[in-house]
Amino acid sequence: MLYSPLRGTGVNVRPVSRQVLDQAIDWQVRLEMGEASQDELSALQTWLAEHAEHRRAWEQLNGINQRLRIAEQPAARTALLRPPSNGRRRLGQSALAVAFAGVLGLVAIDRYIPVRYVFADNVTPTGEQRTLMLPDHTRIVLGSRSALDVRFDEEERRVILLAGEAFIETGHDTTSRPFIVQTQAGRLRALGTRFLVEEESRGSRLTVLQSAVAAQPRFGLAEAVIPQGEQVLMMADRLDELKNAPASADAWVHGMLVVDNQPLGDVVAALSRERTGLITVDPAIAKLRVTGTFPLHDADQALRALALNTPIRVEQHTRWWLAVKPR
């Protein structure tokens, strides 16, 4: 959500060994096949736990997806799928006049799309959220592009957040089984509570709205209790520093985007994550500070509202492409 919209750029770019890369690619393809059993998933977790280089390869591969976004636009896809023409043969032919503008726009290609979790129980597409009621009356709101598995047994109530974000309000269990949210980075144990969990490239962001949640990184030795009103990033090996939870942290649950003095470029990036297609922002206005409350799932409406009190205009070119420009 918006309090850290341009996150996830902290991927270590140093290449891994060929062997590790091959293994990581093999894992990604296997996960995509949708046949990964719980055993295989634990094998993957073991593999990730074995070595920092394994985790680096994994993060790096996950970073690739956000670069592909321009190809969501059908015309762009078509252009990219044309067989590459032989440049050598074309030498000497005259080309179309091409204006090479020196200034590059900020293209909002900032969505992390996970490997498709076809085996997940609950998956939401871009721009949609879904409310789940679990047997113990726990209410979960899954954000856009999220995937969640529910695994309740006699011992515990466990949900696995595979991608995206979830708002969780736990119900009262008659047999007092613990309620656990498992993520790639670790596990969160609810202590009778309301909280948000969001998967980011570096870990899981936990925001506690009521009571408390006990967080244990996958390679951590002990649980740490995160109290109400606090937010923390849980990485596989440690917890980041606690921060005050932003007042509007759960605004997305109500379909709202609350913006307080943020750069326009960040706001557009947040809206863009909820919408398929491309939104470009003229660099001249990307740093413009804006404030307001906007509908999260209607970028067109939100931008129109923004244009009322900021010097911007929005050009809708196609269903796939909005251009935000100075007025």
Partner 1 sequence: MATGEIKTAPELNVLYRNHGDWLTGWLRRQTGCIQRAEDLRQDTFVRLLAKPELPTMREPRAFLTQIAKGLLIDHYRRASLERSYLEALSTLGDEHYPSAEELAMITEALAELDRLLGKLSSKARAAFLYSRLDGLTHPEIAQRLGVSVPRVRQYIAQGLQQCYIALYGEPV
DSSP string, 21-55: HHHHHHHHHHHHTT---HHHHHHHHHHHHH-HHHH
Q: Which is nearer to partner 1, 26 or 240 (CB)?
A: 26
Q: Which is nearer to partner 1, 47 or 320 (CB)?
A: 320
The minimum distance between CB 173 and partner 1, in angstroms, equals 34
Q: Does 318 bind partner 1 (CB under 8 A)?
A: yes
Residue 251 is given by DSSP the state: G
Out of 43, 49, 113, 150, the residue judged to bind partner 1 by CB under 8 A: 113
Q: Does 326 bind partner 1 (CB under 8 A)?
A: no
On the 0-12 / 13-18 / 19+ scale of CB atoms within 10 A, 66 is: middle
Query: Which string of b and e fits 125-142 if b means at least 16 CB within 10 Å?
Result: ebbebeebebeeebebbb
Q: Does 254 bind partner 1 (CB under 8 A)?
A: no
The minimum distance between CB 287 and partner 1, in angstroms, equals 17
Q: Considering only CA atoms, which of 219, 217, 212 is closest in space to residue 233?
A: 217
Out of 37, 99, 221, 244, the residue judged to bind partner 1 by CB under 8 A: 99
Token pair in block for residue 8: 């996830």
Q: Considering only CA atoms, which of 181, 160, 162 is closest in space to residue 170?
A: 181
Site string for partner 1, 15-54 (x = CB under 8 A): xxxx-xx---xx-xx--xxx--------------------
Q: Which is nearer to partner 1, 67 or 172 (CB)?
A: 67
Contact 72, 277 (CB under 8 A): yes
Judged by CB under 8 A, the stretch of 184-192, 219-227, 253-261, 313-321 that binds partner 1 is 313-321
The minimum distance between CB 91 and partner 1, in angstroms, equals 6
Long-range contacts of 24-33 (CB under 8 A, 24+ apart): 24/54, 24/57, 24/58, 24/61, 25/61, 27/58, 28/61, 28/115, 31/115, 31/117, 32/115, 32/116, 32/118
Give, as ranges, the residues between 63 and 92 that touch partner 1 (CB under 8 A): 63-65, 67-72, 74-85, 87-88, 90-92
Q: Which spans of this chain sit near partner 1 (rule: CB under 8 A)?
A: 13-18, 20-21, 25-26, 28-29, 32-34, 60-61, 63-65, 67-72, 74-85, 87-88, 90-92, 94-101, 103-105, 107, 109, 113, 116, 118, 278, 280, 317-318, 320-321, 323
